[in-house]
Protein backbone atom coordinates (compact mmCIF):
# COMPACT_ATOMS: atom_id res chain seq x y z
CA UNK A 1 0.00 0.00 0.00
CA UNK A 2 2.84 2.40 0.84
CA UNK A 3 4.34 2.30 -2.65
CA UNK A 4 1.02 3.51 -4.05
CA UNK A 5 0.59 6.37 -1.60
CA UNK A 6 4.19 7.67 -1.63
CA UNK A 7 4.35 8.75 -5.32
CA UNK A 8 0.93 10.36 -4.86
CA UNK A 9 2.33 12.54 -2.06
CA UNK A 10 5.14 13.79 -4.35
CA UNK A 11 2.63 14.45 -7.10
CA UNK A 12 0.41 16.59 -4.88
CA UNK A 13 3.39 18.72 -3.88
CA UNK A 14 3.99 19.32 -7.59
CA UNK A 15 0.35 20.18 -8.27
CA UNK A 16 0.06 22.58 -5.36
CA UNK A 17 3.22 24.45 -6.29
CA UNK A 18 2.74 24.55 -10.04
CA UNK A 19 -0.73 26.02 -9.80
CA UNK A 20 0.60 29.15 -8.13
CA UNK A 21 3.39 31.35 -9.55
CA UNK A 22 4.35 32.65 -6.10
CA UNK A 23 4.67 29.37 -4.20
CA UNK A 24 7.34 27.66 -6.28
CA UNK A 25 10.87 28.90 -6.90
CA UNK A 26 11.08 28.02 -10.65
CA UNK A 27 7.97 30.15 -11.25
CA UNK A 28 9.52 33.13 -9.49
CA UNK A 29 12.66 32.70 -11.59
CA UNK A 30 10.60 32.49 -14.77
CA UNK A 31 8.64 35.68 -14.06
CA UNK A 32 11.77 37.73 -13.40
CA UNK A 33 13.87 36.30 -16.28
CA UNK A 34 10.98 36.92 -18.67
CA UNK A 35 10.89 40.55 -17.53
CA UNK A 36 14.67 40.87 -18.00
CA UNK A 37 14.64 39.61 -21.59
CA UNK A 38 11.32 41.08 -22.70
CA UNK A 39 10.82 44.31 -20.71
CA UNK A 40 8.37 45.73 -23.26
CA UNK A 41 6.07 42.71 -23.08
CA UNK A 42 3.16 42.49 -20.68
CA UNK A 43 4.17 40.83 -17.42
CA UNK A 44 2.70 37.47 -16.51
CA UNK A 45 -0.16 38.18 -14.12
CA UNK A 46 -0.86 35.99 -11.12
CA UNK A 47 -4.35 35.25 -12.39
CA UNK A 48 -3.09 34.45 -15.89
CA UNK A 49 -0.71 31.79 -14.63
CA UNK A 50 -3.35 30.44 -12.26
CA UNK A 51 -5.91 30.03 -15.06
CA UNK A 52 -3.40 28.08 -17.14
CA UNK A 53 -1.34 26.09 -14.65
CA UNK A 54 -4.04 25.02 -12.22
CA UNK A 55 -6.03 23.02 -14.83
CA UNK A 56 -2.75 21.49 -16.03
CA UNK A 57 -1.92 20.39 -12.50
CA UNK A 58 -5.39 18.98 -11.88
CA UNK A 59 -5.41 17.03 -15.14
CA UNK A 60 -1.96 15.59 -14.42
CA UNK A 61 -3.08 14.64 -10.90
CA UNK A 62 -6.25 12.92 -12.13
CA UNK A 63 -4.64 10.96 -14.96
CA UNK A 64 -1.69 9.83 -12.88
CA UNK A 65 -4.03 8.84 -10.03
CA UNK A 66 -5.74 6.50 -12.48
CA UNK A 67 -2.41 5.14 -13.71
CA UNK A 68 -1.10 4.55 -10.18
CA UNK A 69 -4.31 2.90 -9.07
CA UNK A 70 -4.44 0.38 -11.90
CA UNK A 71 -0.67 -0.16 -11.95
CA UNK A 72 -0.62 -1.04 -8.24
CA UNK A 73 -4.24 -1.99 -7.66
CA UNK A 74 -4.53 -3.00 -4.00
CA UNK A 75 -5.81 -6.40 -2.99
CA UNK A 76 -8.81 -6.46 -0.70
CA UNK A 77 -6.61 -7.71 2.12
CA UNK A 78 -4.55 -4.50 1.83
CA UNK A 79 -7.45 -2.12 2.24
CA UNK A 80 -7.08 0.26 5.16
CA UNK A 81 -10.07 0.74 7.43
CA UNK A 82 -10.14 4.34 8.62
CA UNK A 83 -12.51 5.15 11.50
CA UNK A 84 -15.21 7.57 10.47
CA UNK A 85 -14.57 9.91 13.38
CA UNK A 86 -10.79 10.19 12.98
CA UNK A 87 -10.90 13.43 11.01
CA UNK A 88 -13.47 15.08 13.26
CA UNK A 89 -11.47 14.10 16.35
CA UNK A 90 -8.27 15.49 14.85
CA UNK A 91 -10.06 18.73 13.96
CA UNK A 92 -11.52 18.97 17.45
CA UNK A 93 -8.09 18.49 19.02
CA UNK A 94 -6.88 21.66 17.29
CA UNK A 95 -9.30 23.71 19.34
CA UNK A 96 -11.21 26.82 18.18
CA UNK A 97 -9.53 29.25 15.80
CA UNK A 98 -7.68 31.96 17.72
CA UNK A 99 -7.84 35.73 17.34
CA UNK A 100 -4.37 35.78 15.78
CA UNK A 101 -5.23 32.98 13.35
CA UNK A 102 -8.32 34.87 12.19
CA UNK A 103 -6.20 37.93 11.43
CA UNK A 104 -3.59 35.93 9.52
CA UNK A 105 -6.29 34.13 7.53
CA UNK A 106 -7.94 37.46 6.68
CA UNK A 107 -4.65 39.01 5.55
CA UNK A 108 -3.80 35.96 3.45
CA UNK A 109 -7.25 35.98 1.83
CA UNK A 110 -6.87 39.67 1.02
CA UNK A 111 -3.42 38.99 -0.41
CA UNK A 112 -4.77 36.29 -2.74
CA UNK A 113 -7.66 38.55 -3.81
CA UNK A 114 -5.33 41.46 -4.62
CA UNK A 115 -2.98 39.17 -6.55
CA UNK A 116 -5.75 37.65 -8.67
CA UNK A 117 -7.56 40.89 -9.51
CA UNK A 118 -4.55 43.21 -9.84
CA UNK A 119 -4.74 43.35 -13.65
CA UNK A 120 -7.62 42.98 -16.10
CA UNK A 121 -9.11 39.50 -16.42
CA UNK A 122 -10.43 38.69 -19.89
CA UNK A 123 -13.06 35.99 -20.41
CA UNK A 124 -13.66 36.21 -24.14
CA UNK A 125 -15.24 39.60 -24.79
CA UNK A 126 -16.03 40.08 -21.10
CA UNK A 127 -13.30 41.88 -19.15
CA UNK A 128 -13.07 42.27 -15.39
CA UNK A 129 -11.04 45.45 -14.82
CA UNK A 130 -8.10 45.17 -12.46
CA UNK A 131 -7.93 47.38 -9.38
CA UNK A 132 -4.38 48.60 -10.16
CA UNK A 133 -5.85 50.68 -12.98
CA UNK A 134 -7.33 52.99 -10.35
CA UNK A 135 -3.86 54.35 -9.61
CA UNK A 136 -2.14 56.91 -11.88
CA UNK A 137 1.15 54.91 -11.93
CA UNK A 138 -0.16 51.37 -12.02
CA UNK A 139 3.17 50.08 -13.38
CA UNK A 140 4.65 50.67 -9.93
CA UNK A 141 2.29 48.07 -8.47
CA UNK A 142 3.28 44.43 -8.86
CA UNK A 143 2.80 41.21 -6.93
CA UNK A 144 5.90 41.94 -4.86
CA UNK A 145 4.63 45.29 -3.57
CA UNK A 146 1.34 43.64 -2.61
CA UNK A 147 3.12 40.89 -0.66
CA UNK A 148 5.35 43.37 1.17
CA UNK A 149 2.39 45.59 2.06
CA UNK A 150 0.44 42.66 3.49
CA UNK A 151 3.46 41.48 5.48
CA UNK A 152 3.84 44.94 7.03
CA UNK A 153 0.34 44.56 8.50
CA UNK A 154 1.58 41.50 10.39
CA UNK A 155 4.11 43.71 12.18
CA UNK A 156 1.46 46.37 12.98
CA UNK A 157 -1.67 44.48 14.09
CA UNK A 158 -1.48 43.66 17.82
CA UNK A 159 -2.00 40.19 19.21
CA UNK A 160 -4.94 39.72 21.55
CA UNK A 161 -2.97 38.19 24.42
CA UNK A 162 -0.79 41.30 24.89
CA UNK A 163 -1.18 44.74 23.31
CA UNK A 164 2.59 45.18 22.96
CA UNK A 165 2.93 41.96 20.95
CA UNK A 166 2.19 41.87 17.23
CA UNK A 167 1.08 39.08 14.92
CA UNK A 168 4.68 38.79 13.71
CA UNK A 169 7.82 39.97 15.47
CA UNK A 170 11.32 40.44 14.12
CA UNK A 171 12.72 37.53 16.16
CA UNK A 172 10.46 35.23 14.16
CA UNK A 173 11.02 36.98 10.84
CA UNK A 174 14.81 36.57 10.97
CA UNK A 175 14.35 32.79 11.12
CA UNK A 176 12.90 32.75 7.61
CA UNK A 177 15.25 31.31 4.94
CA UNK A 178 16.43 34.70 3.65
CA UNK A 179 19.41 33.02 1.97
CA UNK A 180 17.06 32.05 -0.85
CA UNK A 181 17.34 35.67 -1.99
CA UNK A 182 21.03 35.06 -2.75
CA UNK A 183 20.06 32.11 -4.95
CA UNK A 184 17.52 34.21 -6.82
CA UNK A 185 19.81 37.21 -7.05
CA UNK A 186 22.66 35.12 -8.43
CA UNK A 187 20.36 33.57 -11.01
CA UNK A 188 18.99 36.92 -12.12
CA UNK A 189 22.52 38.33 -12.36
CA UNK A 190 23.48 35.34 -14.50
CA UNK A 191 20.46 35.89 -16.75
CA UNK A 192 21.36 39.57 -17.17
CA UNK A 193 24.97 38.66 -17.92
CA UNK A 194 23.92 36.14 -20.57
CA UNK A 195 21.72 38.78 -22.17
CA UNK A 196 24.22 41.66 -22.12
CA UNK A 197 27.13 39.50 -23.33
CA UNK A 198 25.08 38.06 -26.17
CA UNK A 199 25.77 34.51 -25.00
CA UNK A 200 22.09 33.62 -24.83
CA UNK A 201 21.68 34.72 -28.46
CA UNK A 202 24.73 32.64 -29.39
CA UNK A 203 23.12 29.59 -27.82
CA UNK A 204 19.87 30.46 -29.57
CA UNK A 205 21.58 30.56 -32.96
CA UNK A 206 23.21 27.18 -32.34
CA UNK A 207 19.81 25.71 -31.48
CA UNK A 208 17.93 27.42 -34.33
CA UNK A 209 17.49 24.09 -36.14
CA UNK A 210 15.01 23.14 -33.41
CA UNK A 211 12.66 25.85 -34.70
CA UNK A 212 12.09 23.83 -37.89
CA UNK A 213 10.28 21.12 -35.92
CA UNK A 214 6.54 21.04 -35.32
CA UNK A 215 5.60 23.17 -32.28
CA UNK A 216 4.31 20.13 -30.40
CA UNK A 217 7.66 18.37 -30.81
CA UNK A 218 9.48 21.48 -29.58
CA UNK A 219 7.40 21.56 -26.39
CA UNK A 220 7.82 17.82 -25.82
CA UNK A 221 11.61 17.97 -26.26
CA UNK A 222 11.91 20.91 -23.86
CA UNK A 223 9.66 19.22 -21.30
CA UNK A 224 11.57 15.93 -21.39
CA UNK A 225 15.01 17.55 -21.25
CA UNK A 226 14.10 19.75 -18.28
CA UNK A 227 12.26 16.95 -16.48
CA UNK A 228 15.17 14.51 -16.58
CA UNK A 229 17.77 17.22 -15.97
CA UNK A 230 16.10 18.21 -12.71
CA UNK A 231 16.27 14.61 -11.50
CA UNK A 232 19.92 15.27 -10.66
CA UNK A 233 20.07 19.06 -10.26
CA UNK A 234 18.20 21.78 -8.40
CA UNK A 235 15.06 22.83 -10.27
CA UNK A 236 15.74 26.49 -9.43
CA UNK A 237 19.30 26.34 -10.75
CA UNK A 238 18.10 24.48 -13.84
CA UNK A 239 15.46 27.06 -14.72
CA UNK A 240 17.85 29.96 -14.15
CA UNK A 241 20.36 28.33 -16.53
CA UNK A 242 17.94 27.11 -19.21
CA UNK A 243 15.40 29.95 -19.40
CA UNK A 244 17.94 32.55 -20.67
CA UNK A 245 18.95 30.09 -23.40
CA UNK A 246 15.32 29.55 -24.38
CA UNK A 247 14.80 33.32 -24.40
CA UNK A 248 17.73 33.63 -26.80
CA UNK A 249 16.29 30.85 -28.98
CA UNK A 250 12.99 32.71 -29.04
CA UNK A 251 14.66 35.91 -30.23
CA UNK A 252 16.75 34.24 -32.96
CA UNK A 253 14.00 31.92 -34.25
CA UNK A 254 10.96 34.18 -33.89
CA UNK A 255 9.09 31.73 -31.65
CA UNK A 256 6.96 33.31 -28.94
CA UNK A 257 9.03 33.20 -25.72
CA UNK A 258 6.17 31.94 -23.57
CA UNK A 259 5.75 28.99 -25.92
CA UNK A 260 9.22 27.83 -24.87
CA UNK A 261 9.61 29.15 -21.33
CA UNK A 262 6.28 28.15 -19.79
CA UNK A 263 6.63 24.39 -20.52
CA UNK A 264 10.22 24.49 -19.27
CA UNK A 265 9.11 26.13 -16.02
CA UNK A 266 6.33 23.62 -15.43
CA UNK A 267 8.61 20.69 -16.25
CA UNK A 268 11.23 21.86 -13.75
CA UNK A 269 9.04 20.50 -10.96
CA UNK A 270 8.18 17.24 -12.75
CA UNK A 271 10.93 15.15 -11.17
CA UNK A 272 9.66 12.01 -9.45
CA UNK A 273 12.34 9.39 -10.12
CA UNK A 274 15.27 10.18 -7.83
CA UNK A 275 15.27 10.96 -4.09
CA UNK A 276 17.64 13.90 -4.66
CA UNK A 277 15.36 15.55 -7.22
CA UNK A 278 13.05 17.42 -4.82
CA UNK A 279 12.53 17.65 -1.03
CA UNK A 280 9.19 15.73 -1.24
CA UNK A 281 11.00 12.89 -3.03
CA UNK A 282 13.64 12.81 -0.30
CA UNK A 283 10.97 12.73 2.43
CA UNK A 284 9.16 9.83 0.75
CA UNK A 285 12.36 7.85 0.22
CA UNK A 286 13.54 8.61 3.75
CA UNK A 287 10.44 6.92 5.16
CA UNK A 288 12.00 3.57 4.23
CA UNK A 289 8.72 2.33 2.76
CA UNK A 290 9.71 2.60 -0.89
CA UNK A 291 12.82 1.34 -2.68
CA UNK A 292 14.81 3.46 -5.10
CA UNK A 293 14.08 0.99 -7.91
CA UNK A 294 10.33 1.21 -7.41
CA UNK A 295 10.55 4.98 -7.07
CA UNK A 296 12.52 5.23 -10.33
CA UNK A 297 10.13 2.99 -12.28
CA UNK A 298 7.02 4.75 -11.04
CA UNK A 299 8.63 8.18 -11.41
CA UNK A 300 9.68 7.46 -14.99
CA UNK A 301 6.08 6.68 -15.91
CA UNK A 302 4.85 9.84 -14.20
CA UNK A 303 7.55 11.96 -15.88
CA UNK A 304 6.60 10.74 -19.36
CA UNK A 305 2.87 11.23 -18.80
CA UNK A 306 3.44 14.69 -17.34
CA UNK A 307 5.57 15.78 -20.31
CA UNK A 308 2.89 14.68 -22.79
CA UNK A 309 0.14 16.48 -20.85
CA UNK A 310 2.19 19.68 -20.65
CA UNK A 311 2.78 19.48 -24.40
CA UNK A 312 -0.91 19.05 -25.21
CA UNK A 313 -2.12 21.69 -22.75
CA UNK A 314 0.42 24.27 -23.88
CA UNK A 315 -0.33 23.72 -27.56
CA UNK A 316 -4.13 23.64 -27.38
CA UNK A 317 -4.86 25.68 -24.23
CA UNK A 318 -1.82 27.78 -23.36
CA UNK A 319 -1.87 29.64 -26.67
CA UNK A 320 -5.38 30.89 -25.83
CA UNK A 321 -4.51 31.99 -22.29
CA UNK A 322 -1.25 33.74 -23.20
CA UNK A 323 -2.36 35.01 -26.62
CA UNK A 324 0.26 33.07 -28.58
CA UNK A 325 -0.05 33.00 -32.36
CA UNK A 326 1.15 29.61 -33.61
The domain boundary, picked from 130, 159, 188, lies at 159
Residue 42: its pLDDT value, please? 76
Residue of 49, 55, 58 whose CA lies nearest to 262? 49
Residue 182: its pLDDT value, please? 82
**Residues 294, 259 share a domain:** yes
Domain count along the chain:
2
Residues spanned by the domain of 273 = 2-75+177-322
pLDDT digits (tens, 9 = 90+) for 126-158: 778 888 888 888 878 888 899 999 999 999 998
**Residues 140, 54 share a domain:** no
State the number of CA atoms in the 13 A half-sphere of 231 facing the CB.
16
**Residues 220, 123 share a domain:** no
87 vs 262: CA distance, rounded Å: 38
**Residues 209, 122 share a domain:** no
State the chain's mean pLDDT as an integer: 83
Residue 22: its pLDDT value, please? 52
**Residues 198, 304 share a domain:** yes
**Residues 207, 60 share a domain:** yes
Handedness of CA 224, 227, 231, 237 (dihedral sign): positive
Domain membership of residue 84 (yes or no) is no
The secondary structure element, H or E, covering residue 248 is: helix 235-253
Summarize the confidence of residues 176-180 as an average pLDDT: 81
**Residues 228, 186 share a domain:** yes
242 vs 251: CA distance, rounded Å: 14
**Residues 198, 152 share a domain:** no
Domain membership of residue 80 (yes or no) is no
Assign 307 a pLDDT band (cuts: 50, 70, 90).
Answer: very high
pLDDT digits (tens, 9 = 90+) for 241-285: 899 999 999 998 889 999 999 999 999 888 777 877 777 777 777
**Residues 151, 184 share a domain:** no
**Residues 277, 189 share a domain:** yes
Summarize the confidence of residues 26-40 as an average pLDDT: 88
Contact assessment for residue 177 and residue 236, using Cβ atoms and an 8 Å cutoff: no
The fraction of the chain above a pLDDT of 70, given in percent, is: 88
**Residues 110, 41 share a domain:** no
Residue 14: its pLDDT value, please? 56
pLDDT digits (tens, 9 = 90+) for 52-110: 988 988 888 888 888 777 777 766 666 667 777 888 888 888 888 888 899 999 999 99
Amino acid sequence: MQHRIAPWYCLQCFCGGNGNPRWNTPKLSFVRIYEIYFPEALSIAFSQWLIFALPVSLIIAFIIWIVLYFSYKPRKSEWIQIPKNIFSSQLKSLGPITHEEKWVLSIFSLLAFLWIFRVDLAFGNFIVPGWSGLFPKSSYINDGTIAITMSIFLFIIPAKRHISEKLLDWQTAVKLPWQILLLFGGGFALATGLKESGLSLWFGERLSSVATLHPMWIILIISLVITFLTELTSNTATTEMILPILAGLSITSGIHPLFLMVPATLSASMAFMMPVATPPNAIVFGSGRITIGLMARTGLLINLIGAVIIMLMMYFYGNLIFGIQL
